Amino acid sequence: MKDVSDSGAVFDALGDATRRRVVAELSALGTASPTELAHRLPITRQAVSKHLVALADAGLVSSQRSGRAIVYRLTPEPFTDAVSWMTQVGAQWDDRLGALREHLGRRRRRRV
């Protein structure tokens, strides 16, 4: 698993609600051009293009020319790395909360 600092750009890119909607649309469509995405979103094609650049800079999408259009698709690896990191952090917190629960249970039993 990659270091969290490697995932910083991914979390920065996904911190924007519009970019998350672009990701959701690409996930549903498989591939799409900025024009196709703009028809599905309440923003202009130029705005979609700027969001796609931010997602590409984070490694979340890749592009390929298809005739005159450029089509984008999701790149799964950065998502997998981010999910792995969140799972690891979540497990650590589960362990800590479990230890705290145990500690508090012991304290309560001692008082009784």
The pLDDT tens digits of the residues spanning 29-75 come to 999 999 999 999 999 999 999 999 999 999 999 999 989 999 999 99
DSSP state, 15? T
Burial of 107 from C-beta contacts in 10 A (0-12 / 13-18 / 19+): exposed
Give the C-alpha separation, 59 to 77, whole Å. 9
Name the more confident of 55 and 100. Answer: 55
Looking at residue 3, its pLDDT comes to: 53
| Predicted structure pTM score | 0.74
